[in-house]
Amino acid sequence: MAVGGSVYTSVFVSAFVTVLSVALFWMAAFTLWWQMHAWRTPETLASTRFDRPDGEGRLAFSLLLPARHEQAVLRHTIDRLLESTHTDYEVIVIVGHDDPGTAAVAEAAAARAPERVRVVVDHNETKNKPKALNTALPHCRGDIVGVFDAEDQVHPELLAHVDHAFRATGADVVQGGVQLINFHSSWYSLRNCLEYFFWFRSRLHLHAEKGFIPLGGNTVFVRTGVLREAGGWDQNCLAEDCDLGVRLSSAGKKVVVAYDSDMVTREETPGSLLSLLKQRTRWNQGFLQVYRKKDWQQLPGRGQRWLARHTLMTPFMQAATGVIIPVNAAVALFLDVPVGIAITTFLPMITAMVTFVFEIVGLHDFGRQYGLRIRLVHYAKLIAGGPFYQVMLAGAAIRAVWREQRGRNEWELTSHTGAHLAEAPAAAAPDDGAAPAPVPSLATESTASREESHQ
């Protein structure tokens, strides 16, 4: 009887592992194919860029800048926004009534540039980003509402390009690029930067093409009337950007995505692994909330709904993949299973290895696009850190599910120190030992010279 039970258990485990392995293999293969969308053809890659502004009639912008305990980086961000070459915009800084440090920085900026900067105070007892944005929405005077984060390094010509994109395409929403820059800060920063590179450089373009897009958290621009008609942001959602994109996609609004390495908004990675874990927990929990709201079910196409379901569940599937691969390897090596099943258990590992290859190529392209020296040690860190990064993602997903089931929806704030504003250290230093050149000011770099350098 014991022998029969052992055989039954072995058959059950083998069948379960086989089905799970095949499912994870195909899900990972689809994700990889979508991730490489922009690089499939030269025409696709070329179409992802902003077109050159035509210098004709301009739209008015209201730029929302929610800031909470961001006194270390807020002034720099406001100053960069004030360098914009566009002539018709306002900066609305939203600060909490209980955050005097940040409020002082915002008020000082408003005093320096009263014609451009206004301060709106968020009096909500429970603070989060969507509540802050909704507090400022009635104060917006512009045709377009743009959202930035308090640590953003924004290109002076971005608004002119976004203005042209709205007028040339008739878009309701324009999503610009965001890129983490300080890849050299830690082993996980390298992977974090590369994730942003693939997401904004490629994956979002596929979503825009398919008519379903989870918007990014900043450098997103929405027509003011469209945003007000949608009721602003969901103040109870931990991924308010994703939720807004899903609702606007479901309403049939036109979303245009443009990415140009010269025009991206530069940001920093979380300063600690714990901070990154909390950030990913919030994102995962937010995606789960959006999935459960079921607005995506209003999408007209079956393919759109399938893409939405897959996308909103992707963080959890990726985390499961990171956990299942070692389990499958253990089953293949230590359990008495048929050879065919043992080979099947390695299917998710195959996609993981192929993904590593594309990540290596992507890291090279990331360095080339941003003028960063990528050394052999960075490629080694990218590969060696992969399994540990998957463990972190798995932990964040598990924690997100636990928090959602417990009804814990408090906003875990990510602190910023301005790591992306410093010079790149040895990573960008020349081989001859000379001191690294300072990062050039984007305000003084001409469009012509930038285009010439990327020919």
What's the pLDDT score for residue 225? Answer: 98
Please report the DSSP string for 235-286 in residue order: TT-TTHHHHHHHHHHHTT--EEE---TTTPEEE---SSHHHHHHHHHHHHHH
- Long-range contacts, stretch 282-285, CB < 8 angstroms, 24+ apart: 282/238, 282/239, 282/400, 282/411, 282/412, 283/238, 283/239, 283/315, 284/315, 284/316, 284/396, 284/397, 284/400, 284/401, 285/238, 285/239, 285/400, 285/401, 285/403, 285/404, 285/409
- pLDDT tens digit sequence for 390-426: 889 888 988 898 898 898 888 886 765 555 565 444 4
Low pLDDT (below 70) residues in the chain: 1-14, 16-17, 20, 318-339, 341-343, 345-346, 348, 413, 415-455
Q: Which amino acid is at 386?
A: G
What's the pLDDT score for residue 365? Answer: 95
Superfamily of segment(s) 50-304: Spore Coat Polysaccharide Biosynthesis Protein SpsA; Chain A (3.90.550.10)
- pLDDT tens digit sequence for 279-290: 999 999 999 999
Give domain limits for the chain: 50-304
Quote the CA–CA distance of 289 and 408 in Å, as a whole number: 12
Q: Is 138 exposed, middle or buried (0-12, 13-18, 19+ CB in 10 A)?
A: exposed
What's the pLDDT score for residue 355? Answer: 85
